[in-house]
Structure 1
């Protein structure tokens, strides 16, 4: 369900945060960039786990920010096929059943994937 995924990226640190330690500003940047985002073919990124490698920073002409190559690992929610996950029903609509896992609310089970026989009652919304 949860895995560590390795990433590589070039992080730009603006001059306004040069007073912070480099690792702290890079951690803040990576969390704001990837946390709570779905990366295709990877999964839902939860939080930065660790920074494995920082290369030297470079400042390019015309840009006051420091550019640093970073290798890091992120905690990623990536369920495997046929994995059983326990969640709570958030609501039912004619489009299907909306499920929440607590940290992730955007799960929709379409009517075609529900057990047969099943039907939706408009008056009771179930």
Structure 2
């Protein structure tokens, strides 16, 4: 059975928080976006979920939920974002199909995911977890692996190997101290 992840046609994306709405048309046309001001979206995904034989004792819906929870969190879906978690019950779960040479049951499923999708140049609040000559690693709380490379640091920034920190020293035109009058 095919195991390609795709957005479920017609595409549906709704906003969990923020000041705008994305509208998806039932005929599958492109999404119309009014403004981009939120970083979390709820997206509907269709995928073939494989249930291994050791989970056959569970109700099908529970087994599908378990496998979605194993497969999707912390995974980036191209042009959608970073999956945070499954949202609610699966919307549709098809009958299981057994493939030759594979003991698992393959179910076509449609389900919703909470996705982290910040817009370009969005300012986020995070905690520096590591600082090296290559750049800075930042934790956002739910996601630990945000990496800011050295070439994205404010100019002029330098890495201080003694403290292990990046230092930004802005240059002021009015004086050498940078203090101003007073």
Q: How many residues align?
A: 126
Greater RCO, 1 or 2 (C-alpha within 8 Å, sep 6+): 1
2:81 maps to what in 1? 43
2:159 maps to what in 1? 120
Describe the superposition over 1:38-82 as per-residue Cα deviations: whole angstroms up to 9, x where unpaired: 223222111111311112223345544322110111111111111
Q: Does 1:101 align with 2:140?
A: yes
Q: 1:18 to 1:93 in 2, by over 3 A?
A: same
1:23 maps to what in 2? 61
TM-score normalised per structure 1? 0.88
Bigger helix share = 1
Describe the superposition over 1:63-122 as per-residue Cα deviations: whole angstroms up to 9, x where unpaired: 443221101111111111111110011121111122111111111212222222211111
Bigger strand share = 1
Paired with 2:139 and 2:103, the residues of 1 have a C-alpha distance of: 43
2:177 maps to what in 1? none
Paired with 2:152 and 2:101, the residues of 1 have a C-alpha distance of: 55
TM-score normalised per structure 2? 0.63
Determine which structure has more spread, i.e. the larger CA radius of gyration: 2
Give the counterpart of 2:93 among 54, 79, 86.
54
Paired with 2:157 and 2:102, the residues of 1 have a C-alpha distance of: 60
SS in 2 for 1:53: strand
SS in 2 for 1:35: coil
Gaps spanning 5+ residues in structure 2: where?
1-38, 166-182
